[in-house]
Amino acid sequence: MPIRLKLTIMFLAVALAPLLLISFLTFNNYKDSLKDTRISYLQNLTAFKADKIETYFARLKEEIEIAQAFYNIKKNLPILIQFVREPDNPEFIAAKKILDEQLQRMQSILGLFDIMLVNPDGRIVYSSNPKHYPKDLLHLLHDPQQKAFTEGRNKVYFSDLFRNNGEGNRLGMLITAPVFDLDNAFIGEVVFEIDMESISDLMQDVSGLGNTGETLVGKKIGSEILFLNPLRHDPDAALKRRVAIGDKIGFGIQEASQGKSGTGQFIDYRGKQVIGAFRYIPSLDWGLVAKMDTDEAFVDITNLKRLVIISLIIIFVFSAIMAFSVAQSISGPIKKLTKGAEEVGRGNLDYKVGTDLKDEIGQLSRSFDKMTQDLKKVTTSRDKLDREVVERKKAEESLKRSNENLEQFAYVASHDLQEPLRMMASYSELLERRYKHKLDKDADEFISYIVDGAKRLQGLINDLLAYSRIGRIDKPANEFDCNLVLNRVLAGMAKTIEENKAIITHDNLPQLVGNENSFVHLFQNLIGNAIKFHAEETPYIHISAKKQDSEWVFSVKDNGIGIEPQYKERIFLIFQRLHARDKYSGTGIGLSICKKIIETQGGRIWVESETDKGSTFYFTVPVKEGVRYG
């Protein structure tokens, strides 16, 4: 076999084999990365919209709970019921006027169709919407299944969606809650009639979902899933389109409506292959899906595949031509090669020794030139890499300075708010002491709101200051005994522990190196949370530590109510509440402070919890050389 053919084959093998392998690996990595990116985006989108929906209805639940306690309703609803068939009666007119002033304003602020009051028989005796009042008076509620009244006698109840004939056939929904008079006797119900247009707009927003993507909401009705919103591909689907459970189509909405959450590729209600994320909304028993057609979602992969094939063909042709040329030109004068080697040895990488000869020496001379060109490229690439390293270090230093400036801003802003807030709190408490029980009941209640709000805002600012100070403390690290720190914490919390009858035990804890006050704050937050979120039985808390490899692993275990699953991934973020239950309060900063303290020490923190069975918070602290442990 001629040397030219051998060199051609060898060059193509050396050049193309790695290229093919790299192309294959790059394509697969890009494909997986794009798929993960699409899934992550859809997952985040479902979480965002589910949170928006839950927040919206949680707010309405809070508002109707406030409304059912209104003094004006308790006082005037019996009057409306008594004179409902005598609308010209002065007492009826006066009672309606008082309610209009309060409830019409509330209707406007909340964006409701109507706020209604019904008598103990379920008949409407009041409507805040002047357009509804004449035709709805003494009629039953609009709920097609007539469950809103019966279910709302003992609790806040959310009805199913329905078409509101009185509002242009728009989607509506009822929220009902019982009303009790001043003697705690049932006298009727307060009813919010919701305009679902805002939720519908949220669902129909297809930003970031391309030409085929959409979000949809469904609810399990018997053995079927009923679609609750207009769809991008079926605008009339709301309360009309259904999918049978177990059917091959609509997999995502079937799973979500049956209490499951997840992601993947599946067949949608049109029979199209889609990629999507689905999520269950427990408070409403709804399922939510965000999806887009796989053809559109992975169009970049198809284009990349086509581009890779075309590029490989071009590279193959180009490489073949180059290999053939190199194979023909590997000879040159030995003298010129020798001189060329000397010039290159002196650092002159631009010197050329190639000749037009077609013998072996000419071919070798041109190969020598190629070697010098490659050496120059390597040298240039190394210099470029050095410049990139220097630039990256500068960018990291700039980012570090920006983070320090941001923490300084949070510290200064929180610190500057303390003085005016302290004055507001002092004067509000003075008002409370001077005028409490001297004015009417509403004034007492409003003053209490001001005092309570000032105290809670002071707590929030104090927590923000504590959060911003972490990592900025001037006091140097020192060696301290965790047992003494814990005893100091328990002494400071003695009143809280006694009031809650809490039992707190601990093992023998180690010596640590760090800022002692930071660990005081850490234990205060973790023990305080364990006491605050205790169950009906006596709170029991145990603190322990054990050494694993090069770190101490601490645990704070309690027998409290546990952490609800939807909060486990977010509890260490700032302003995230540990629980959504109304009877618990807090700023949502405590666990963020704990996380920052531990990370400042070079450790990590996490939680293991089961609802109604307690929680265990773990955190690690690196072992320091030269410290006496035990």
Q: What is the pLDDT of residues 439-469, one digit of tens each?
A: 666 666 667 767 666 665 665 566 666 666 6
**What's the pLDDT at 28?**
77
Number of domains in the chain: 4
CA distance 15 to 370: 15
Q: Which residues contact 16 (CB under 8 A, 6 or more apart)?
A: 315, 316, 319
Q: What is the 3-state secondary structure (H, E, C) of 396-426?
A: HHHHHHHHHHHHHHHHHHHHHHHHHHHHHHH
Residue 179 and residue 76: Cα distance in Å, rounded?
Answer: 12
Q: Distance between CA 381 and CA 442 in Å, rounded?
A: 77
| Residue 174 sits in the same domain as residue 78 | yes
Matching residue, tokens 């069975």: 613
Does residue 105 sit within a domain?
Answer: yes
pLDDT of residue 459: 59
Contact call for residues 271 and 249 (beta carbons, < 8 A): yes
Separation of alpha carbons 288 and 560, rounded Å: 31
pLDDT band for 340, please (50, 70, 90 cuts).
low
Q: Tell whether 503 is covered by a domain.
A: yes
| Domain boundary residue, one of 422, 448, 469 | 469
Mean pLDDT of 154-161: 90
Residues 376, 463, single domain; the answer is no
pLDDT at 579 over 60: no
What pLDDT does residue 381 have? 62
At residue 94's C-alpha, the angle toward residues 93 and 100, to 5°, is 85
For residue 332, what pLDDT is reported?
Answer: 41
Buried b vs exposed e over 390-405: b needs ≥16 C-beta within 10 Å? eeeeeeeeeeeeeeee
**Which of 35-49, 357-371, 597-611 has the weakest average pLDDT?**
357-371
Does 242 fall in a domain? no
Could you read off the pLDDT of 247-279 as tens digits, one per residue?
999 999 999 999 999 999 999 999 999 999 999
214: in domain = no
d(CA 280, CA 50): 8
Please enumerate in sequence order all residues whose Cβ is within 8 A of that of 230, keeping only pairs 6 or more positions apart, or say none: 200, 203, 204, 236, 237, 238
- Closest by alpha carbon to 556, among 546, 568, 542, 545? 542
* CB atoms near residue 125 (< 10 Å): 25
Tell me the C-alpha to C-alpha distance, in Å, between residue 204 and each of 54, 62, 290, 400, 491: 17, 26, 11, 41, 56
Mean pLDDT on 38-58: 90
Q: Which pLDDT tens digit goes with each residue over 6-17?
A: 767 776 677 677
Q: Are residues 488 and 614 in the same domain?
A: yes
The residue among 386 and 486 whose pLDDT is bigger is: 486
CA 205/CA 195 separation, integer angstroms: 17
Q: Is 77 buried (19+), middle (13-18) or exposed (0-12) by CB count in 10 A?
A: buried
pLDDT at position 135: 87
Q: Where among 165, 195, 225 does a domain terminate?
A: 195
- Clarify whether residues 429 and 327 are in a common domain: no
The CATH number linked to 579 is 3.30.565.10
Write out the two tokens for 94.
């006066």
Boundary-marking domain end, from 143, 174, 195: 195
| 36 within domain boundaries | no
Give start and end residues of each alpha helix (H) in 68-168. 71-83, 90-110, 133-136, 148-151
Task: Output the CA torsion sign for 224, 230, 235, 238.
Answer: positive
Give the pLDDT score at 582. Answer: 43
Which of 401-405, 487-491, 593-597 reaches the highest mean pLDDT?
487-491
Residues 78 and 188 in one domain: yes
Statement: residue 397 has pLDDT above 80: no
State how far Cα 136 lies from the chain centre. 42
**Confidence band of 161 (pLDDT split at 50, 70, 90):** confident
Residue 108 maps to which CATH number? 3.30.450.20
Tell me the C-alpha distance between 5 and 369, whole Å.
Answer: 21
State both tokens at 293.
Answer: 């057609």
> Considering Cα of 502, then 507, then 511, then 512, what sign does the dihedral take?
negative
* Pairing relationship of beta strands 157-158 and 170-180 according to DSSP bridges: antiparallel
Mean pLDDT throughout 578-590? 57
Asked, for residue 86, whether it belongs to a domain, the answer is: yes
For 178, residues 6+ apart whose C-beta sits below 8 A from its C-beta are 68, 152, 153, 154, 155, 186, 188, 189
Cα–Cα distance for residue pair 217/229, rounded to 1 Å = 6
Tell whether 514 and 597 lie within a shared domain.
yes
Encoded tokens for 538? 């006596």
Quickly state the pLDDT bin for 284 (edges 50, 70, 90). Answer: confident
Q: Which one has a higher pLDDT value, 144 or 628?
A: 144
498 and 587 in one domain? yes
pLDDT at 580: 44
**Does the residue 200 lie in any domain?**
no
β-pair partners for 554: 545, 619
Average pLDDT over all residues of the chain: 81
DSSP letters, 161-218, are PEEEGGGTTEEEEEEEEEEE-TTS-EEEEEEEEEETHHHHHHHH--TTSTTT-EEEEE
Considering the domain architecture, whether residues 502 and 460 belong to the same structural domain is answered as no
Instruction: Say yes or no: 462 and 489 in one domain.
Output: no
pTM of the entire predicted model: 0.47
% of the chain beyond a pLDDT of 90: 39
Alpha-carbon span 496 to 500, nearest angstrom: 6
pLDDT score of 416: 64
Whether residue 311 lies inside any domain: the answer is no
Whether residue 483 sits in one domain with residue 462: no
Is the pLDDT at 313 greater than 70? The verdict is yes
On whether both 483 and 461 belong to a single domain, the answer is: no
Nearest to 215 by CA among 290, 297, 293, 296: 290
Residue 374 has pLDDT above 80, yes or no: no
Q: Which residues pair with 607 in a beta bridge?
A: 617
Say how far apart CA 197 and CA 110 lie, in whole Å: 13
State the Cα–Cα distance between residues 220 and 246, nearest whole angstrom.
12
**Distance between CA atoms of residues 424 and 318, nearest Å:** 79
- The answer to whether 616 touches 555, Cβ cutoff 8 Å, is yes
- Other Cβ atoms closer than 10 A to 218: 27
Q: Cα(612)–Cα(563) distance, rounded to whole angstroms? A: 8
Q: Is the pLDDT of residue 504 over 90?
A: yes
Domain that holds residue 505: 478-622
Do 587 and 525 fall into the same domain? yes
What average pLDDT does this structure show over 89-116? 93
